[in-house]
């Protein structure tokens, strides 16, 4: 499994028009297949007057779940080109739904492929992307007097401060990039003069804006 991947920065939409047909692309971040299908069902009800609600989604850090639907358009002219755009942009944990209102002019197979692909490109351009990185969680207990300086030093070295709890002492929950734990332990020893030692407590995916 990779230790980072791209997903969309936010939910959004974009619309294009081709020969009087309207193509509304809705882009949403999702975590599983049921959530992706729920988005399709919701938009089908919301835009009940549209002829087609074609969809594609990619899920998982390794993009190992991929589905698409032509929803009544000629086979291979909608869902497949939509999915191709998602693959080309290398994004995952995302569903795109292109809702089409027919404008009275037949576009042909090539025209449909271009229109659905262009709609998804416009949708992705409108929302931007995030990089998700796998981090190993470490708990670190330090004295109050050292906490502020230590936070600053760790952030400067690419360590994510996930949480800070104040009590008799300060407990930092830190996210260390996967594969960097070996260097992290001696770093903490250096910064604290050996007074504190991190304890690994789990792992999680975290987001960072890349464009």
Per residue in 84-93, pLDDT (tens digit) is 999 999 999 9
Number of domains in the chain: 2
Query: pTM for the complete prediction?
Result: 0.85
Query: Domain containing 99: what range?
Result: 4-127
Q: For residues 120 and 204, state if they share a domain.
A: no
Which domain-ending residue is among 105, 127, 149? Answer: 127
Per residue in 153-179, pLDDT (tens digit) is 999 988 989 999 999 999 999 999 887
Q: For residues 40 and 76, state if they share a domain.
A: yes
CATH of the domain at 170: 3.30.70.240
Q: For residues 14 and 84, state if they share a domain.
A: yes
Q: Shortest CA distance to 97 belongs to which of 48, 149, 36?
A: 36
Q: For residues 110 and 156, state if they share a domain.
A: no
Per residue in 87-112, pLDDT (tens digit) is 999 999 999 999 999 998 899 999 99
Which domain-ending residue is among 127, 148, 165? Answer: 127
């Amino acid at each position: 499994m990779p230790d980072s991947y791209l997903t969309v920065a936010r939910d959004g939409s974009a619309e294009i028009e081709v020969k009087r047909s309207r193509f509304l692309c809705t882009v949403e971040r999702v975590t599983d297949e049921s959530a992706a299908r729920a988005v399709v069902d919701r938009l089908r009800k919301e835009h009940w007057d549209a002829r087609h609600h074609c969809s594609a989604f990619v899920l998982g850090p390794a993009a190992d779940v991929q589905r698409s639907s032509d929803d009544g358009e000629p086979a291979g002219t909608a869902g497949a080109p939509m999915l191709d755009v998602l693959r080309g942009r290398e994004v995952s944990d995302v569903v795109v739904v292109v809702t089409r209102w027919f404008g009275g002019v037949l576009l042909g197979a090539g025209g449909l492929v271009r229109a659905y692909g262009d709609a998804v490109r416009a949708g992705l351009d409108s929302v931007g992307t995030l990089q998700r990185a796998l981090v190993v969680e470490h708990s670190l207990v330090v004295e109050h007097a050292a906490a502020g300086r230590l936070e600053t030093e760790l952030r400067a070295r690419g360590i994510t401060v996930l949480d800070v709890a104040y009590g008799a002492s300060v407990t930092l929950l830190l996210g260390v990039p996967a594969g960097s734990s070996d260097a992290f332990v001696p770093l903490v020893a250096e910064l604290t003069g050996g007074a504190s030692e991190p304890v690994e407590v789990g792992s999680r995916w975290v987001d960072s804006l890349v464009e």
